[in-house]
A and B are shown apart, each in its own frame.
Chain A
Amino acid sequence: KQEVTQIPAALSVPEGENLVLNCSFTDSAIYNLQWFRQDPGKGLTSLLLIQSSQREQTSGRLNASLDKSSGRSTLYIAASQPGDSATYLCAVYSIKAAGNKLTFGGGTRVLVKP
């Protein structure tokens, strides 16, 4: 059974500092890994998707890396802003014979202080 873990559960940084969010998973047989953002009381918004064959993916100030062999992914957010305050979740598509299953970590709650 795939298990996804995100540490730390919460993070507070001053504005302008770079953010580093960690995600680990137990089963390396994945199809892809996705990072999401969730604002309070809202749904989830996809940020980045990394295919299992890729090592990283970039979008603006966001960069996500993937090391499938060690079961880890890291999301970097450069020059953080107060608007980056949210909960960030990673999710992995696990490969199964009858389809793919999207399993989420517990999330990291980020607060960027002005």
Chain B
Amino acid sequence: DAGVIQSPRHEVTEMGQEVTLRCKPISGHDYLFWYRQTMMRGLELLIYFNNNVPIDDSGMPEDRFSAKMPNASFSTLKIQPSEPRDSAVYFCASSFRGGIAFFGQGTRLTVV
């Protein structure tokens, strides 16, 4: 397996635009996590799924953020409309039954 795959690796967008981040978890994993990392706040859990079902989205900062997992092999995190303060590195991670969490390489988002 190629590991957790995120796309794009880098995204630069203008304020107000919609941004969609994508994640392909490791095949067979039943947990999927979306994190955001900034210098100021460190690594923050935004939302996580178990068997494609959102379990806890209390970390989603605002209604502008939404996440979906239509099937076991794909998830998206959408920001609409984007703002400069959303600039961060967004990580996706997956695990099997609460075991080792494997992280993707992240998407570096810059909103100008």
Contact = CB atoms under 8 A, between A and B. Distances in A.
Interface of A: 31-32, 34, 36, 42-46, 49, 89, 91, 93, 96, 98-107
B102 A46 contact: yes
A89 B44 CA distance: 12
B35, B56, B99, B102, most chain A CB atoms within 10 A: B99
A102 B104 contact: no
B106 A99 contact: no
Interface string B70-112: 0000000000000000000001010100111111111000000
B68 to A, nearest CB: 17
The main secondary structure of chain B at its interface with chain A is strand
24 contacts: A32-B99, A34-B100, A34-B101, A43-B91, A43-B104, A44-B91, A44-B101, A46-B102, A49-B100, A96-B56, A98-B50, A99-B48, A99-B50, A100-B50, A101-B48, A102-B93, A102-B101, A104-B35, A104-B43, A104-B45, A105-B42, A106-B42, A106-B43, A107-B43
A91 B101 contact: yes
Q: Report the contact-size class of chain B (Cβ under 8 Å from the partner).
A: 20 to 34
B98 A93 contact: yes
B100 A43 contact: no
Interface of B: 31, 33, 35, 42-43, 45, 48, 50, 55-56, 91, 93, 95, 98-106
Contact of B31 (A32, A34, A100): A100
Given A89-B43, A103-B45, A107-B42, A43 B101 contact: no
Contacts of A46: 100-102
Given A34-B101, A43-B105, A91-B101, A102 B55 contact: no
Nearest to B42: A106
A108 to B, nearest CB: 11
A36 B95 CA distance: 14
B2 to A, nearest CB: 13
Contacts of B91: 43-44
